[in-house]
Amino acid sequence: MVAYRNAAEADIDAVLRFWATAAEDSHRPPDSADAVRRLIGRDPEALILAVDGDTVVGSIIVGWDGWRCHLYRLAVAPTHRRQGIGRELVTRAEARFTTYGGTRADAMVLDENAPAHRVWSTAGYAPQPEWSRWVKPL
């Protein structure tokens, strides 16, 4: 049975292993334990996990900058896809946004990740063609 909870520092290695196999992230530098540790330290509720027993099978990062609501790193293990886990993670993230008074959320989604497009569309999200994302590695 899948349970949902916030990530803790003890989850960092498991989260990184999970992202290496379940997340579409070939276009960016690899994640690090230090980065995940900083995220959890700054906002202990930002990283929501779906776990099956002791195994991480889903994740989403819920970002709030005081102005906008942002969603990152939605991923579901290939073994657990099409079971509603992605939708539940998005629902939990959106519930958190309402506690902040957020009025609009955006999600980072790779253009070529067609399976993710279905999840986001089902959740009511759509691309905004008038926007593009500009990125600079730091």
Q: Is the pLDDT score of 90 beyond 90?
A: yes
Confidence of residue 94 (pLDDT cuts 50, 70, 90): very high
Give the 3-state secondary structure of 113-129: CHHHHHHHHHCCCCCCC
The pLDDT, as a whole number, for residue 117 is 87
The pLDDT, as a whole number, for residue 27 is 67
The pLDDT, as a whole number, for residue 42 is 94
> In angstroms, rounded to a whole number, what is the distance separating the alpha carbons of residues 36 and 16?
9
Question: What would the pLDDT profile of 122-132 be if each residue is shown by its tens digit?
Answer: 988 888 888 87
Please say whether the structural domain 2-123 has been given the CATH code 3.40.630.30: yes
CA-based nearest residue to 135, from 116, 108, 105: 108
- What residue spans define the domains of the chain? 2-123
Question: What would the pLDDT profile of 25-45 be if each residue is shown by its tens digit?
Answer: 666 677 899 999 999 999 999
Lowest mean pLDDT among 2-11, 21-30, 43-52: 21-30
Q: Which one-letter amino acid corresponds to residue 13?
A: D
- Name residue 60's beta-bridge partners: 48
Q: Given the DSSP bridges, would you call strands 69-76 and 105-107 parallel, antiparallel or unpaired?
A: parallel
Q: Name the phi and psi angles at 108, rounded to 5.
A: -85, 115
Q: Is the pLDDT score of 114 beyond 80?
A: yes
